[in-house]
A = this chain, B = another copy of it.
Amino acid sequence: MIFTEEYYILFDIVILLLLAKILEELVARFRQPPILGDLLAGVILGPTVLGIIKVGDNVKSIAWVGIVALIFFAGLETEIKEFKRHSKTGLLVGLGGIITCFTLGLVYGLSLGYDLSSSLFLATMLTPTSVSVTVETLIQLKTLHTRVGQVIVSAAVADDIYALFLFTLTYTVVSRGYFSVSELAHVSLGLVILALISYLMFRYSNLIASLMSRLKTVESLFTFTFIMGLSVATLSSFFRLSPIVGAFLTGLALSSMPGSQTVKDRLSIIMAILTPLFFCYAGVLLNPWEVLPKINLSTTASLIMGILLLGILGKIVGCGLTAKLLNLTWTESLSVGIGMIPRAGVELVIAVTGLTLGVITQEVYFSILILIYVSSLITPSLLKLTMYLKRK
């Protein structure tokens, strides 16, 4: 039977979105973040389980707009003043986790016999913490306003920026296959231009907001600022930086403009429909059956265990010890370390990029997915436990 083109397009979108939302609903009953439901929907409908959706081409563009919306929102949510006040401890705690995870990942990759590119990507993938998962967990535990909560949040936000820049660096070096000075200059030019644009947007954000509010098209402030986010995201991918760098910088630059709350409200509507499809898409991309006949299951099992251990212990030790050195108590430091465990969005963006570049294997991608599931699943209960210890 031959169907129209729109049938195939709408079918993929509808079936992914429907299952994602049903699973979001289901995981919410177990107090788990919705992102798990989205990922599972992609894994179930993709080649891993049912194979109903094969390549995900029909959701690709929606997925990218969805992830730009999410990261743009995260930028808008970051208050520059608040961020500056809590930043010293947070910056160092975040850096401690990044350095520990990156070093462990690099050494692990090289010790497995991977080449430098693959090892760099593996190391980079282990570094970022998911702000949304962390904040959501802290809110659930009603500990967002404690010292531990404040340190975790600023560390997680700082961590996100470090990881983005680290990813940019790794991505550029790896995508060219060699360490190129001119390539680094190209990226540096991109970074300078992006920094300049961000500064100008920040400097004139009041003017931008007032001009855009006066336009005649519907929802002009929201649509034009979102188009700015999309444009700078596109510009950063023009310089081979990830689109999320541009999206985050635009959000950060416009975070204190008048009407930013209105823009965030509108973005959250876009995110309710479009962003789940990014994580669905990430799930659909996973195809273990393609490599399963070619791999040794026992080495893959040990790879999963290795990445799980490094990913979780790297954050607990790296962030926890830094927190202890900055005069937090042992239990507070343990809470901080555990609060930095969750992985989600950025790791997946890096992993998807790595797959497209061909520098990470399906085994590594699969291990990262396991890390995301496990880290997101264990954090709420572990954090609850350390918070209980602290109160005693």
Decide: B61 and A237 in contact? CB cutoff 8 A.
no
Question: A200-243: which have CB < 8 Å to B?
Answer: 215-220, 222-224, 226-227, 230-231, 233-234, 237-238, 240, 243
A34 within 8 A of B: yes
List B contacts of A240 (CB < 8 A). 3-4
A107 within 8 A of B: no
Decide: A17 and B61 in contact? CB cutoff 8 A.
no
Question: Are A272 and B4 CB-contacts (below 8 A) given A61-B9, A64-B9, A68-B10?
Answer: no
Q: Which of B18, B61, B64 contacts A231 (CB 8 A)?
A: B18
A270 within 8 A of B: yes
Question: A158-210: which have CB < 8 Å to B?
Answer: 175
Q: Which of B7, B13, B21 contacts A217 (CB 8 A)?
A: B21
A116 within 8 A of B: no
Question: Are A268 and B218 CB-contacts (below 8 A) given A10-B64, A21-B224?
Answer: yes
Decide: B268 and A230 in contact? CB cutoff 8 A.
no
A362 CB, min distance to chain B CBs, angstroms:
18
Tell me if A's interface is mostly helix, strand, loop or mixed.
helix
Decide: A272 and B62 in contact? CB cutoff 8 A.
no
A266 CB, min distance to chain B CBs, angstroms:
5
Decide: B270 and A270 in contact? CB cutoff 8 A.
yes
Interface centre among A13, A222, A223, A273 (most CB of B within 10 A): A273
Contact with B along A39-80 (1 / 0, CB 8 A): 000000000000000000011111011001000000000000
Decide: A10 and B234 in contact? CB cutoff 8 A.
yes
How many chain-A residues does the 8 Å CB contact rule pick out?
A: 56
A82 within 8 A of B: no
Decide: A215 and B61 in contact? CB cutoff 8 A.
no
Question: A123-139: which have CB < 8 Å to B?
Answer: none
Decide: A6 and B272 in contact? CB cutoff 8 A.
no
Closest to A241 in B: B4
List B contacts of A272 (CB < 8 A). 218-219, 222-223, 266
A177 CB, min distance to chain B CBs, angstroms:
13
In the bound complex, CA of A269 to CA of B61 (Å):
18
Question: Are A237 and B269 CB-contacts (below 8 A) given A25-B217, A29-B216?
Answer: no
Given contacts A7-B237, A269-B270, 6 further A-B contacts (CB under 8 A): A3-B240, A21-B223, A24-B217, A34-B218, A58-B60, A226-B273
Q: Interface of A with B (CB < 8 Å)? A: 3-7, 9-14, 17-18, 21, 24-25, 28-29, 34, 58-62, 64-65, 68, 175, 215-220, 222-224, 226-227, 230-231, 233-234, 237-238, 240, 243, 266, 268-270, 272-273, 349, 353, 356
- Report, nearest first, the 8 A-B pairs whose CB atoms are least far apart: A7-B237, A28-B216, A10-B234, A269-B269, A219-B272, A14-B230, A24-B217, A14-B234
